[in-house]
Amino acid sequence: MSELPLNYAKDPVVSFNEEEKLFRDVVREFCQRYIAPKWIEIDERAEKDPIDIPLDLIKKMGEQGLFAIPCDPKYGGQGGTYTMAVIAVDEIAYADPAVAIAVYALLNNGWPFALQQFAREEVCEEIIPEVAKGNAFFGIATTEPQGGSDIAGIKTTARKEDGKYIINGEKSYISGVGEVTKLPWGGGWFLVARTGGPGHRGLSAFAFLARRNGVLRSGFNPTIYPDIGRHGLTTGGFICENVEIEEKYLLGQENRGFYHVMEGFNLARIVVAAACIGATRWLLEQAALWFKQRKLFEGRYISSFQGVNFKFAELYAKYEAAKYFVYRAARLADKIYIEKDPTLNPKDLNIPVALAKMWAPETAVDIAEEVMKWHGAFAYTKECPVYRAWLGLFSYVIGAEGAQNIMRYIIARDTLGSKYVRPS
């Protein structure tokens, strides 16, 4: 690789062991060879046709071992750590700062790992190998037309009947709808539906396979939404009309789905934040490259003005903080799920994950906006690719994988105590 445009600190905020360095270098080489040269083309093609899915690239990524990284090899996973999944997503987002490919990768690392925590062995053995090979997609399906953050208000129902569950309802703003219908095997989602009474105690989670072995389930009716950014990964919705799934696809305990999906969200939010810091690193380097060629007022570099370099310093500091939050959460996830540290439990992730998911997307969008301002009018043209990163990253400020104010609520609740933050 050519010389980096930034002089990164020799004592980085995050240190990797030798295995992690080797893994990062291999992933970086792959991304720079296969993703970086194509990300703009992928974004442009999918903007015109949302189901123009880069199937060949997804297959290559599967062959490279970039999916199901932390999943157990006995279920077809890569047998890595959650930190390694974060490293991979960080590098993929640097190579594709529009983050479509990074989001595909993060979903197919976070949610298969969540699946592994709650699914029966036969279900893990069925789904995880196909995801790992790039033949199937597995994401999250909770959001409904009435709202996304209100999980306890989910209306989709799952009625148990003769050893099966009958699913009825609608999900919206779901990633991977097109991929499930186009990938060789298919796939589906960690889906939450109502099996009991009102509120969060009446919900159950399922490994909902909308398409399995290339066959679409009867009663599953998908649609694709035309997004404003992050093209290359489809977003859509689907209606279930008496869709039958076998009882074995129930995840964990019936009517405990709220707790299972909250644990899954903690895992997924770490890799979401990882995608944001990878794209942020690309943005900062784009700024540095621009500074080194753009001169004004008798030949002064624009970065010689304090209005520019002071702002750059502040934003770089926010990036370093975001990186710390992300990798801190990943290391903690490893202690809980990989190392099985008996002094820790999944709830210990709440604050570290919320810090990462609150800070990283907002930092990324702030930096994208400032980099566009530094580029001036050029940034308002399609010739300048920075806007593609801004549009992709903004999806995570809007609220994908949890609204930003939900992250603030979690931090306040778990630091102050729930009785002090709940409405009376």
Cα torsion for 68, 70, 73, 77, to the nearest 10°? 0
- From CA 389, how far away is CA 234, in angstroms rounded? 16
Q: Which residue has the tokens 């997609």?
A: 137
Q: How far is CA 356 from the centre of its chain?
A: 12
Angle, CA 31 vertex, CA 28 and CA 35 arms, to 5°: 160
Q: Which residue has the tokens 């102050």?
A: 416
DSSP string, 74-114: GGT-----HHHHHHHHHHHHHH-TT-HHHHHHHHHHHHHHH
Q: Is 23 found in the same domain as 132?
A: yes
Cα-based distances in Å from 10 to 13, 69, 84: 9, 28, 21
Q: Is 223 found in the same domain as 293?
A: no
Q: Is 374 found in the same domain as 227?
A: no
Q: Where does residue 22 rank: exposed (0-12), middle (13-18), buried (19+ CB within 10 A)?
A: exposed
Residue 48: pLDDT above 80? yes
Mean pLDDT, the chain, rounded, equals 95
Query: pTM of the entire structure?
Result: 0.96
Tens digits of per-residue pLDDT, 284-300? 999 999 999 888 888 88
Which amino acid belongs to residue 335?
A: K
Tens digits of per-residue pLDDT, 322-371? 999 999 999 999 999 999 999 999 999 999 999 999 999 999 999 999 99
- How many Cβ atoms from other residues are within 10 Å of residue 408's Cβ? 13
Tens digits of per-residue pLDDT, 165-215? 999 999 999 999 999 999 999 999 999 999 999 999 999 999 999 999 999
Q: Is 190 found in the same domain as 89?
A: no
Q: Is 193 found in the same domain as 91?
A: no
Q: Is 205 found in the same domain as 123?
A: no
Tens digits of per-residue pLDDT, 76-135? 999 999 999 999 999 999 999 999 999 999 999 999 999 999 999 999 999 999 999 999
Q: What residue spans of 133-190 are helical by DSSP H?
A: 177-182
Cα-based distances in Å from 74 to 77, 110, 194, 231, 363: 7, 17, 32, 34, 38
Domain count for the chain, please give it: 3
Which amino acid belongs to residue 286?
A: Q
Residue 59 lies in a domain: yes
Which amino acid belongs to residue 293?
A: Q
Q: Where does residue 105 rank: exposed (0-12), middle (13-18), buried (19+ CB within 10 A)?
A: buried
Greatest C-alpha distance within the chain: 81
State in Å, rounded, how far the first CA of the chain is from the last one.
Answer: 58
Q: Is 121 found in the same domain as 222?
A: no
Residue 68 lies in a domain: yes
Q: Is 293 found in the same domain as 406?
A: yes
User: Could you give the percent of the chain with pLDDT greater than 90?
Assistant: 90
Q: Is 408 found in the same domain as 263?
A: yes
> How many C-alpha atoms does 49 have within 13 Å on its Cβ side?
7
| Angle formed by the axes of helices 350-375 and 257-291, nearest 10° | 30
What DSSP element (H or E) covers 25?
helix 18-34
- Residues of the domain holding 362: 257-420
Q: How far is CA 277 from the centre of its chain?
A: 12
Mean pLDDT of 251-274: 97
Q: Is 329 left (phi over 0), alpha (psi -120 to 50) or beta?
A: alpha
State residue 353's pLDDT score: 98
Question: In the listed set 110, 137, 164, which residue is the last one of a domain according to the structure?
Answer: 137
- From CA 71, how far away is CA 80, in angstroms rounded? 7
Q: Is 395 found in the same domain as 295?
A: yes
Strands of 119-183, DSSP E? 136-141, 157-161, 164-175
State residue 302's pLDDT score: 86
Q: Is 410 found in the same domain as 292?
A: yes
Residue 4: pLDDT above 80? no
Assign residue 46 the CATH number of its domain.
Answer: 1.10.540.10
- How many helices (H) and strands (E) in the chain? 12, 11
Beta pairing class for 235-246 and 136-141: unpaired
State residue 94's pLDDT score: 98
Residue 10 lies in a domain: no
Assign residue 386 the CATH number of its domain.
Answer: 1.20.140.10
Which amino acid belongs to residue 423?
A: P
Q: Is 114 found in the same domain as 25?
A: yes
User: Could you give the percent of the chain with pLDDT greater than 70?
Assistant: 99
Residue 12 lies in a domain: no
Residue 4 lies in a domain: no
Residue 93 lies in a domain: yes
Question: In the listed set 78, 113, 137, which residue is the last one of a domain according to the structure?
Answer: 137
Residue 77 lies in a domain: yes
State residue 12's pLDDT score: 82
State residue 1's pLDDT score: 42
- Is residue 189 within 8 Å of 139, Cβ to Cβ? yes
